[in-house]
Copies of this chain bind each other. A is one copy, B any other.
Amino acid sequence: MNIQSLTEAGLRRTILDTSRQMLVTDGFNQLSMRKIAGEVGCSATSIYLYFDNKDALLHALIDEGFEMIYSLIRVKVKTDASAADQFQEICREFINFGLNNPEYYKIMFLIDPGNISRLPAEKFRKARRPVVMMIETLTEGRESGYFNIKDPELTAHVIWSSLHGAVTAILTNRMDVKIDQNLFIDLVINHAMRAITAEALVTDIKI
């Protein structure tokens, strides 16, 4: 007996939808092929008809995550705003995404790469788009003399890694309970700004 009749949307779609929901509600480490299959109402091996393996299924979800974060940032970042405002908005939106979508964030940035194969090239390119956006903002801010940085690409990576560290620290519960999370985030972004802003202009920061 086949179950096609039950899933007019197509089994592949159902598997992906179910996986997404299970990821968000039960967390990444509860996501097993058999559990997904159980929820979907098909056999575990059926998943392999539509995804090469668990990594491929995960990559599909990761891809969704990068789609989400990119569109979130793109919406928030107003191109007519100053480079400084854009920069802070990118930072804040990245952090917000991590805190609002912890399980997505985990599979996107936190999985030990020893446990999952690397993203295929075209998905990797997608994953890079937010960084590219920050590079552009930094370049713009440097040209207008607001940012005092040498290499926008290198700087973007440094900033990005610091944001990632902040989100990770919170998500993995490695933050001291005494630390106020909002103050922490504010200071993370504040540090980023201080690090890239030309000294002469630091006192002029208006937000």
Which A residues fall within an 8 A CB radius of B? 27-29, 88, 106, 109-115, 118, 128, 151, 153-155, 157-166, 168-169, 172-176, 178-180, 183-184, 186-196, 198-203, 205-207
Contacts and interface: CB of A to CB of B under 8 A. Distances in A.
A191 B198 CA distance: 10
6 contacts: A113-B172, A158-B166, A165-B165, A190-B195, A192-B195, A200-B202
Contacts of A157: 169, 175-176, 179, 184
Contacts of A176: 128, 153, 157
Contacts of A191: 158-159, 162, 191-192, 195-196
Contacts of A158: 166, 184, 187-188, 191
Contact of A202 (B29, B154, B175, B190): B190
A151 to B, nearest CB: 8
Copies of this polypeptide in the complex: 2
Contacts of A180: 154
A203 B198 CA distance: 10
Nearest to A205: B205
Given A157-B176, A165-B162, A166-B158, A88 B187 contact: no
A128 to B, nearest CB: 8
A198 B207 contact: no
Nearest to A170: B161
A186 B203 CA distance: 11
Contact of A205 (B28, B163, B165, B207): B207
B174 A166 contact: no
Contact of A153 (B27, B110, B169, B179): B179
Nearest to A88: B207
- Sorted from nearest, which 10 A-B pairs have the closest CB atoms? A165-B165, A162-B162, A200-B202, A191-B195, A161-B165, A161-B169, A164-B165, A29-B114, A161-B166, A194-B195
Contacts of A112: 28-29, 106, 110-111, 172
